[in-house]
A and B are shown apart, each in its own frame.
Chain A
Amino acid sequence: MRRAEVICFVLFVFVCTHANARNSKVFANSPGSLQQAIDKTMPGDTLFVQKGTYKEHDIHINKRLVIIGDNWPVIDGQNKYQLLTIEHDSVAVIGLQLQNTGRSSLTDIAAIKLLNANYITVRNNKLYNNTYGVYLQNANNNIVDGNIIQSNSVDELNSGNGVHAWKSAYLTISNNIISGHRDGIYFEFVTDSHITNNRSFKNVRYGLHFMFSHRDAYRKNVFMDNGAGVAVMFSKFVEMYDNTFVHNWGDAAYAILLKEISDSKIIHNRFIKNTVGIYFEGTSRIQVLNNEFKENGWAMRVQASCSENNFERNNFESNSFDVATNGTMMLNTFRQNYWDKYDGYDLDKNRIGDVPYYPVSMYSVVTEKIPAAMILYRSFITDIMDQVEKILPSVTPDQLKDDAPMMKSWNLQ
């Protein structure tokens, strides 16, 4: 139904604006038929690709064109070649199945490659077993929506990213399902873009990898079972709302790794069963509000290099360690969070605990300094150490505290 609507809409727009635009069809009858058909079209035409298997490669689109697949015709790269390359503005690629691109360590081989092309729509395609899925290079104002992008990468070296964007702006990446690539979504020098409602899971490295990309927003995405979770580095004004991070579990897995991030917002996300919920390094002025941290190894690791971050109204439940840090300096504020390990009291019944909560346990300080001490995890002596430290704090950073811890958890539904 939805596809039909899209097709109708696209048709409508083109019929209205380009009364002389033609429709043409291409069948999978002879090798090279697709490229020939594209060459024959005039700018503004619509090309209907009929069902079948097209064993073609290096198809170049260098004019304004709408390509619509009828019931997902297959374009197969036979594990050797690159498939679609779009080098002109205002192209739409809808409803194709692109599979089996080659693998190469010299060039980035992609199923759909956008080179210096703007106003492109890539929608409702199925991309299976490709090195790179959708590859955007210096391409602005593009939409990548509703695609299924799957691969079966095993290591980082011989694999590519699901959606790879480099030096672009004003992108919309939405409603995609991405798995089995190196990074699910990769952004480098990409600004003013939206990543919405995607599911990125079981990728070898990161679900989302994000560098030098300012003023981007990602909302309502789900990142699950990725080798190392999500990494956001060297960016400003990043907004992360309503995302879910589940089971990014491994030696070096972080639900979110933040490095050199400033002026950003992390609001109303859910972090469940990750080795580390959020890792902060060199971050400043980040608002961390209304998030839920549940059953993580470390809910947050806040390095001493972070400043002016604000942690408010978050829930911390059933985490092995709530907060870990590597120094005694703490320039961030914690207020009105709910900590399930808090055992203070509330005499004036204002639902705020009367004594501060210190989220850093002594054992987490010890293991931060000497990782080998982790061998004593869950041993009786470490519990005693934590209790003693609670009564007589000496090792833990005394500035890192929540002065107004909540007695009951926030309802964050």
Chain B
Amino acid sequence: MKTIIKYVTLDLVRNKIMIIYALILAALSFSVLSIDSNSSKGLLSLLNVTLLFVPIISILFATIYFFNSIEFIELLLSQPVKRNKVLLAEYIGLAATLCIAYTIGIGIPLAILAPVYASVVLLVSGLLLTLCFSAIALLIFVLFKDKTKGIGAAIITGLFFTLLFDGLLIIFIYSFSDYPIDKPILGIISFNPVDLARILMLLQLDVAVMMGYSGALFKKFLGTATGSVYTVVCMLFWVIVPLFISLKIFKKRDL
């Protein structure tokens, strides 16, 4: 398994798109952080970048990569290795490279220009998002046989979580605003890793006060250590559950 991870990672590190991804992130974060003298504002801008780019790029790139390496996977499976191990190795290799790219692109500028605790949270939430969306990409890969359909599904999923979900949530909030919906909203938010990452990060910054302004519940629950742990655990679920399902499906899939 280690050998497969090694080869996948080596293959990906040399991939031009990976390098460009890291470079773009680095350029963005350097410019954003050096323009604003206030590190908290720079962090907010980087949060927007992370929330918008990381999920979509992770899921798209991962899906395309998995579909492209289908022959490689089939070749490996003709050898005496377990299906689970091959798939897991593919995932780990890919997720690791995406994480490295993110760390280089965002982590290093943050370490140099804004070495505060909130930066660590931003880095962690970005990495968790990368892991989530590569796991979802893996699920898409095992669910669809056709590459075009798979990529389409990846785009829709990416957009769903970054845009559509919040839109639906607004409709929900609007239509049930006469009821005590604070708690249900907290529950619903757990179903979207992007929202979880955003809230995890916002709670580290001053602006958290504005969120807790009226819905004191958000702050009471999410503002505490328990809240942070809850968000991280939810996001880890978003990694583990898709992975587990994909492994299960892949085991029985007719190749």
A and B: real partners? Answer: yes
A379 close to B215 (CB less than 8 A): no
**B124 CB within 8 Å of chain A:** no
Give which listed residue, A251, A369, A376, A380, contacts B209 with CB less than 8 A.
A251
Contact with B along A279-309 (1 / 0, CB 8 A): 0000000000000000101000000000000
A380 close to B210 (CB less than 8 A): no
Q: Give CA–CA (A318, B206) in the complex, Å.
A: 14
Give which listed residue, A320, A372, A380, contacts B207 with CB less than 8 A.
A320
Q: How many A-B residue pairs have CB under 8 A?
A: 85
With A320-B207, A369-B177, A370-B177 as contacts: A376 and B212 at CB distance below 8 Å: no
**A250 CB within 8 Å of chain B:** yes
Give which listed residue, B167, B174, B207, B213, contacts A251 with CB less than 8 A.
B213
B219 close to A251 (CB less than 8 A): yes
Q: Give CA–CA (A375, B210) in the complex, Å.
A: 10
Task: Write the chain A residue with the least CB distance to B180.
Answer: A372
What chain B residues lie within 8 Å of A385 (beta carbons)? 170
**A378 CB within 8 Å of chain B:** yes
With A251-B209, A251-B213, A372-B181 as contacts: A379 and B195 at CB distance below 8 Å: yes
A375 to chain B, nearest CB (A): 6
Give which listed residue, B167, B174, B202, B209, contacts A378 with CB less than 8 A.
B202
What chain A residues lie within 8 Å of B47 (beta carbons)? 378
B209 close to A375 (CB less than 8 A): no
> How many residues on chain B are close to A (CB under 8 Å)?
36
Give which listed residue, A295, A369, A376, contacts B169 with CB less than 8 A.
A376
Q: Give CA–CA (A379, B214) in the complex, Å.
A: 18
B166 close to A251 (CB less than 8 A): no
B170 close to A376 (CB less than 8 A): yes
Contact with A along B200-231 (1 / 0, CB 8 A): 00100011011111111011000000000000
B198 close to A378 (CB less than 8 A): yes
Task: Write the chain B residue with the least CB distance to A367.
Answer: B214
Interface core residue of A295, A374, A382 (most chain B CB under 10 Å): A374
With A372-B185, A379-B198, A380-B166 as contacts: A297 and B219 at CB distance below 8 Å: no
A376 close to B166 (CB less than 8 A): yes
Residues of B156-209 whose CB lies within 8 A of A: 162-163, 166-167, 169-170, 173-174, 177, 181-182, 185, 189, 195, 198-199, 202, 206-207, 209
Give which listed residue, A372, A373, A380, contacts B162 with CB less than 8 A.
A380
**A42 CB within 8 Å of chain B:** no
Task: Write the chain B residue with the least CB distance to A376.
Answer: B166
**B155 CB within 8 Å of chain A:** no
**A315 CB within 8 Å of chain B:** no
**B68 CB within 8 Å of chain A:** no
A156 to chain B, nearest CB (A): 18
A370 close to B202 (CB less than 8 A): no
What chain B residues lie within 8 Å of A320 (beta carbons)? 207, 210
**A275 CB within 8 Å of chain B:** yes
B173 close to A373 (CB less than 8 A): yes
What chain B residues lie within 8 Å of A295 (beta carbons)? 38
Interface core residue of A251, A275, A366 (most chain B CB under 10 Å): A251
Q: Give CA–CA (A14, B44) in the complex, Å.
A: 64
**B85 CB within 8 Å of chain A:** no
A375 close to B189 (CB less than 8 A): yes
A381 close to B213 (CB less than 8 A): no
B168 to chain A, nearest CB (A): 9
Chain A residues within 8 Å of B, Cβ to Cβ: 249-252, 273, 275, 295, 297, 318, 320, 366-367, 369-382, 384-385
- A–B pairs, 11, beta carbons within 8 Å: A251-B212, A251-B219, A295-B38, A366-B170, A366-B174, A371-B214, A373-B170, A373-B173, A375-B189, A378-B202, A380-B163
In the A-B complex, the 7 residue pairs with the smallest Cβ-Cβ separation, listed nearest first, are A371-B214, A381-B166, A370-B177, A297-B210, A379-B166, A374-B211, A372-B215
